[in-house]
Structure 1
Amino acid sequence: MRAAVIAEDRTLEVAEVNDPAPGPGELVLAVKGCGICGSDLKVVEHLPIGYTMGHEFSGEVVAVGADTEGNWKSGDAVCALPLVGCGNCQHCWDTLPVHCPHSEMIGTGKRPGAYAEYVTVSSAQTFRLPEGCGYDVGALVEPLAVGLHAVDTAGIGAGDNVLIVGAGPVGLAVALWARHVGARSVVVSDPVAVRRDSGADFGATGVIDPAAEELGPAFERLAGAAPNVVMEAVGKPGIIQTCIETVAHRGRVAVVGICSGPDPIIPVCASLKELTMTFPVYYRHQDYAHTLAMIDQGRINPAPFITHTVDLDGLPGAFEAVKSPTDQCKVMVRP
């Protein structure tokens, strides 16, 4: 099959690789949609040459292994968690396979991902797409589940004033779910105008250009009070400290962005405000299920996330372009 693999210079190149075959409990999907994730731009520096990334995907079942969980057959339209847990530890039983000590990541770890024509997944972590849910939307379930888990972990609910720092796909997913659960004010901040201005499509009540205004005064101008919840969705050094300085006393800061390097903070600033800080990662099994249910019922509309589509040959160029975003939100690859 054809796949986009990591080249020597840490760009992507399309190459021929071996076709996957399903092991026990596994399915092989023909990939129909796979989003380019901002975290891929970081992990590409650390994964092996020749590896295939891609962890936000949907597809059609084309092969079913032995001893699978669920009544799967060829032709089923599905999406799947990009995680394969052991299924026999407390973390797996708690529907948190990301914490399983034997968990294998699809597209960011041991298992090849979906920047390819085919991908192998765990049948236990596979979900049938609702009727009428296209493959592009199916591939958005993963980043939507990230946002849902972050909102749940931060305890966002009715009446909260929420500032989201970073209006990339994950930040916008957080905005969507924050309004869904009843937040009073949802304000997004981003230096990229197109991303910032698209916040209204996902429930934002206001936007901030951080290059033009300080976050705290700008939020109070828009919402009438300081944010009692700040969601960090950038993943660059220095942003967590900014969130600490901006949030209200006794407020909550949730760090959703992935920063893989040192990021100094001044703990006393958080202590003097008696802040609660959380660091949500990935999602639970039920976050996927709930996201799909809300899509099926028409209670959320994720389609505006997708601003660009490319085929597999267009992926390497699109991947480089996302490193310096202009008008991109979610770029969808259709292998």
Structure 2
Amino acid sequence: MRALRFHGPGDLRLENDINEPLCGKDQVKIQPSFVGICGTDLHEYSSPTFIPSKEKPHPVTGESRPVTIGHEISGIVVEIGSEVNPDFISLGDKVAVQSTICCFNCGGGGMSDFLCVNSKFVHKLPPGIGLDIGALVEPLATSWRAVTESGIRPGDHVLIFGAGPLGLGVIQCCKARGAKKIIVAEVSSRRQMLAREFGATHVVDTNEEDIVKVARDLSDDGQGPQISIDCAGLAVTLKSACLATRPRGIVVNVAIWEKAVEFNPNLLVFGERRYHSVLGYSREDFQGVIRAIEARLLTPQAMITRTISIDRVVEDGFSALIQHKDREVKIQIDMSK
């Protein structure tokens, strides 16, 4: 079968002779329909930090490069293991995959003709959710968890740094959870427009305005928002988030940092602010996103800025996201092409 394999930095290869996976007794075999390119994929493509090498295999699974990538997956069920409850999942069901490693055994990713997944990580999509939207559930689940972990309450003010895929997801989730003011710091004019479209009440170009002052001025008492969520992962956004957040508020990090930065913890200490990090999501977050999309509390279609074929994934996918990140948000691979 076809599979897109990561061999090393800048080295993605579409291989046509990969063995088709066998469906285990507790697994579901899926034919992927749409697979999104994640920001983490871009980090690995540019300078790998997570994908293990032969010299340093994965400490849990023992795997090493090359590996089949792709973890933002929707698809069709084509086979069910003998121990999977048929009342839970059926042949032909449209599903989204919760790409969580906790079974100590990890198969290939979704940028392939078939993959097998433990049935507890497969979520049936309601009839009203298309497969392209189904592939957005995974990245939105991370945004959903960041908002959940912030302890948001209806009427809260939220400051968000960055309106890339994660940030746009956070904006939508804050709106769905009842935020009164959603302030977004973003320098790209294209992403500023999308931030407004997805529910930002105020968008600030930090090249033109002082985001700390703006965020404080927009609060009812001048103390700043209850919550700041950093989706950018830069020294300046970390510092600004700590300065802008009101005393005893919370700063949530949902970014992957490319390098270490200097930081003064007193920015948190002197205001008794909390700092909380989010990496992934839980089953409850995943299901929460599906329910929110079904109820139209989340309408993420506009996040998909391009759909490509797997044989053009480097030129039209990875290169486009690296070179034109201001224009692109979420690029998906249509696996039927």
TM-score w.r.t. structure 2 length?
A: 0.87
Match of 1:300 in 2: 298
Look up the match of 1:37: 38
Structure 1 residues 285, 70: closer, same or farther in 2, change over 3 A? farther
| Structure 1 CA distance for aligned equivalents of residues 236 and 116 of structure 2 | 38
Structure 2 alignment gaps of length 5 or more: 54-64
Equivalent residue for 1:131?
Answer: 127
Give the drift of 1:283.
1.2
Q: Which amino acid aligns with 1:56?
A: E
Give the 5 Å matches for 1:153-302: 153-220=149-216, 225=222, 226-259=224-257, 261-302=259-300
1:21/1:322 Cα in 2 relative to 1: closer, same or farther (>3 Å)?
A: same
Given residue 264 of structure 2, which amino acid in structure 1 is its aligned partner?
A: I
Aligned to 2:60: none
What is the identity, as a one-letter code, of the residue corresponding to 2:263? I
Assess if the C-alpha contact under 8 Å between 1:237 and 1:259 holds in 2: no
2:27 match: 26
Distance 1:137 1:18 in 2: 29
| Runs of at least 5 residues in structure 1 that lack an aligned partner in the other structure | 87-101, 105-109
**CA distance in structure 1 between the aligned counterparts of 2:255 and 2:37, rounded to whole angstroms:** 15
Change (3 A) 1:84 1:249: closer
Out of 91, 110, 119, the position equivalent to 1:74 is 91
CA–CA distance in 1 between the matches of 2:85 and 2:228? 39
- Please state how far the C-alpha of 1:159 moved relative to its aligned partner: 1.8
Shift of 1:236: 3.6
Q: Which residue does 2:144 correspond to in 1? A: 148
The count of aligned residue pairs is: 314
Equivalence for 1:112: 108
Q: 1: distance between equivalents of 2:228 and 2:99? A: 27
| CA distance in structure 2 between the aligned counterparts of 1:18 and 1:258, rounded to whole angstroms | 33
Describe the SS at the equivalent of 1:179. Answer: helix
CA contact (8 A) 1:161 1:228 kept: yes
- Tell me the amino acid that sits aligned with residue 40 of structure 1: D
CA displacement at 1:220 relative to structure 2: 4.0
Q: TM-score, normalization: structure 1?
A: 0.88
- The 8 Å contact of residues 25 and 69 in structure 1, kept in 2 or not, is answered as no
> Which deviations, in whole Å up to 9, do the C-alpha atoms of 1:153-174 show, x marking residues without a partner?
0011112111100101111111
Q: Which residue does the alignment assign to 1:321?
A: 320
Displacement, 1:242?
2.7
| Equivalent AA in structure 2 for residue 3 of structure 1 | A
Q: Aligned pair in 2 of structure 1 residues 190, 70: CA closer, same or farther (>3 Å)?
A: farther
**Aligned equivalent of 2:56:** none
Report if aligned partners of 1:35, 1:330 keep a CA contact under 8 Å in 2: yes
- What SS does the corresponding residue of 1:273 show, helix, strand or coil? coil
Shift in Å, 1:2: 1.1
* Greater Cα offset, 256-265 or 21-30: 256-265
